[in-house]
Amino acid sequence: MEYISEIRTLLAQPKDIIITSHRNPDGDALGSSLALYHYLMQSGHQVQILFPSDYPDFFDWMPDIKRILDFDNNPDECKAIAERAQVAFYLDFNSIDRIDKLGELLDTLNMRKIMIDHHLYPEQAADYIISDTTASSTCEMVFDFICALGDRKAIDRKIGDCLYTGIVTDTGSFKYNTSPKLFRLVSELVELGVDDYELQDLIANNLNEKQLRLLGHCLHNRMEILPEFKTGIISLTKEDYASFDIQRGDTEGIVNYLLKLREIRFAAFFMEQPTIVKMSFRSKGDFSVHELARKHFKGGGHKNASGGSSFQTLSATLKRFKALLPEYASELNH
């Protein structure tokens, strides 16, 4: 693994360390951050996790998740902690703008910065960039990172639970971006005592009544199918946000339901927020939603899972999106 000898030397003595990940953290952001937190604490470092925004409450069960501070609600405390840190780990994001104002702060501070990420085209935002776009998740990379440091035996049940959570969420319960190496890694975690059934249940069966009714509303009232482009669309309006009191995490995973239709290769989910329209794209097979999101909606991510944004109205954004589809018709109908 690149830079590992320099990083091993850097971490040879106890340090003040911060760990951060992207806004609106998902299971991989949380799992990789908490796993690395527990490992570094075991190694004698002082560690704090700082996120740009709060995490969804359905991850409340994760080990020591309450120790995470978010910049939105605790800017002064986060600033004080960041200013005394000697090392920062950037996990599961490839561009400093993914951490918003927290990123602006960290950019001004003199510390060693280590990025571990599996997204395409990482920005040169750290001293050491460990990038592997073939990895299933940043959690897989954190496992490899700990092993490369020579500390495989430090990975215990608590760290394993965190790593498994990120792997399961980023692979859609082992449907995407899997490999023989990944399954060997997961078998090691299970041997450590990670309870596959328990964690899958905590991750997958965590909806409350409001979220289930919102899902029904999306599928019954807000779904549009464009068979000529093998594309499915779900869009939520500001009125939907108000009537369902949609909070962080409530829309997680809804876009994936469109791909349950056998004929759909491209799923697009549009969320109208007060000043921006957020987009979530998913695809099957070789169709790259990353390239579409990067080219047209200032976004990106992975080949089969990406996001984007628009400052136009929802109706204008949808019109623009649909106008793009003929450009991709041959790929979608291949």
**Residue 311 confidence (pLDDT):** 96
Ordered per-residue pLDDT tens for the chain, 334 residues? 889 999 999 999 999 999 999 999 999 999 999 999 999 999 999 999 999 999 998 999 999 999 999 999 999 999 999 999 999 999 999 999 999 999 999 999 999 999 999 998 899 999 999 999 999 999 999 999 999 999 999 999 999 999 999 999 999 999 889 999 999 999 999 999 999 999 999 998 988 999 999 999 999 999 999 999 999 999 999 999 999 999 988 999 999 999 999 999 999 999 999 999 999 999 999 999 999 999 999 998 889 999 999 999 999 999 999 999 999 999 999 8
Contact 43, 73 (CB under 8 A): no
Q: Residue-wise over 259-295: b if at least 16 C-beta within 10 A, else e?
A: beeeebbbbbbbbbeeeebbbbbbbeeebbbbebbbe
Could you tell me how many residues make up the chain? 334
Instruction: Describe the crossing of helices 289-296 and 314-324 by its angle, rounded to 10 degrees.
Output: 120
**Residue 2 confidence (pLDDT):** 83
**pTM confidence score:** 0.91
**Residue 120 confidence (pLDDT):** 86
Q: Does domain 4-204 have CATH number 3.90.1640.10?
A: yes
Residue 44 makes CB contacts below 8 A (sequence gap 6+) with 14
Neighbours of 220 (CB within 10 A): 8
**Residue 79 confidence (pLDDT):** 97
**Residue 80 confidence (pLDDT):** 98
Do the first three CATH levels of 4-204 and 210-332 match, i.e. the same topology?
no
**Residue 262 confidence (pLDDT):** 95
Rounded to the nearest 5°, which phi and psi values hold at 48?
-135, 135
Contact 155, 192 (CB under 8 A): yes
DSSP secondary structure letters along 85-135: -SEEEEES-SSGGGGHHHHHHHHTS-SEEEEEE-SSS--S-SSEEEE-TTS
The CATH code for residues 210-332 is: 3.10.310.30
Domain boundary assignment for the chain: 4-204, 210-332
**Residue 281 confidence (pLDDT):** 98
